[in-house]
Amino acid sequence: MRPTNKLYSAFLKRLAQFTENELTKVVQFQKEELAILRQRAPGRLRLTAQERQRLVKYGKPLGKKLNEVITIVSPRTFARWASGETKSVGKVAQVGRKRTADEIRELILRIARETGAGYTKILGELKKLGINGVSRSTVVNILKEHGLDPGPKRGEGTWDEFVKRHAETLWATDFFSKKVWTKGGLVEFFVLFFINIATRRVQIAGMTPHPNSAWMAQQARNMNAFFDELPEQPTLLIRDRDTKFTAEFDAILKTEGLELKKVGPRAPNLNAYAERWVQSVKQECLEHFIVFGEAHLRHILGEYVAYYNEERPHQGVGNTRLRRFGEEEPPAEVANGAIVCRQRLGGLLKHYYRQAA
């Protein structure tokens, strides 16, 4: 006799020894015990053919009383098993539609994330690749499962998407100021700078205590000359609505095909790269100095920009040095050689590198 049958026989013999009142209590206890076990069981129970046969064998003699004690499945499901015992019990039917292959699911998600396309266009892309057995509802369900909108993205998209899309030819500009001691006393100098979004490289345009229209126009001409030397010409420039940016400044930059994107007031996140650089130059450099004269300020900023552009590791680009214009990767590091420390600004800025043999 099989072990499971022995257990059932022992159980039935034990039940025969109970009075009717005791038997009612036993059944109630067994129901509560099964309910607790069902709550702990993960998901739906999948029964084998043999397990179904055993339930049908011992459940059918109970008749309608079975409805009071059955918990593992619904009475309706049990009735279906019992009515088809001779031909269907023993074969577990496949539930639901066959799951879409993992590689197709990954492809659907990849197309959605890379293009922002809706489910109709995704189906078209799948057909181009020879994948024809996927329905619209399948694509919609896969997208929803991963928190993606099955509808297409319309309009211009977010500001972050705009910045990433144009990063290589997108620049930003802004001012920061520094109090400088001169022969006439303490004077506030305004520094105009430009930063490329893709490479994060910075160019100081100029500095003056009086950023008037004539000075701003000259800086625009200087930057046009600088842009002409780049391997990839700028197409867009982000700036705020500071009144120091004059109409003539804008017009001169536009003569070289540069389109200006003016961000609104009290919206620093729209010019985040420029704002972040201002924080860096102040915290890492200017706050450590009392500046005496314009020449001193130029020297300090020149040293910091050289360190920032060529030597400093940047967390925003994988904690490496910045790549140069026209390059895909930052300069290769020397693998061997003596370790050397280059110091700038009296040791405030330190750069460690291996000296080539």
Model pLDDT, residue 90: 43
Residue 134 has pLDDT above 80, yes or no: yes
Arithmetic mean of pLDDT, 81-106: 62
Model pLDDT, residue 53: 80
Model pLDDT, residue 91: 45
DSSP β-ladder status, 185-196 and 202-208: antiparallel
Residue 182 has pLDDT above 70, yes or no: yes
DSSP 3-state of 186: strand
Q: Which helix (H) or strand (E) holds 174?
A: strand 170-182
Model pLDDT, residue 213: 96
Arithmetic mean of pLDDT, 329-342: 86
Between the alpha carbon of residue 337 and those of residues 307, 342, 352, 354, the distances in Å are: 21, 15, 12, 5
Domain 164-330 class, CATH top level: alpha beta
Count helices and strands in the chain by DSSP H and E runs:
13, 8
Model pLDDT, residue 303: 98
Task: Give the integer Cα–Cα distance in Å for 220 and 255.
Answer: 10
pTM of the model as a whole = 0.59
CB–CB of 113/125 below 8 Å? Answer: no
Please count the residues of the chain: 357
Arithmetic mean of pLDDT, 65-74: 74
Between the alpha carbon of residue 320 and those of residues 202, 307, 315, 334, 349, the distances in Å are: 16, 13, 7, 14, 16
Q: Cα 45 from chain centroid?
A: 37
Model pLDDT, residue 92: 46
Q: Averaging pLDDT over each range in 151-160, 194-203, 258-267, 348-357, which range is the top one? A: 194-203
Task: Give the integer Cα–Cα distance in Å for 169 and 227.
Answer: 10
Residue 281 has pLDDT above 60, yes or no: yes
Arithmetic mean of pLDDT, 230-240: 93
Task: Give the integer Cα–Cα distance in Å for 261 and 22.
Answer: 84
Residue 88 has pLDDT above 50, yes or no: no
Task: Give the integer Cα–Cα distance in Å for 134 and 127.
Answer: 9
29-38, 130-139, 159-168, range with the lowest pLDDT: 29-38
Task: Give the integer Cα–Cα distance in Å for 25 and 135.
Answer: 54
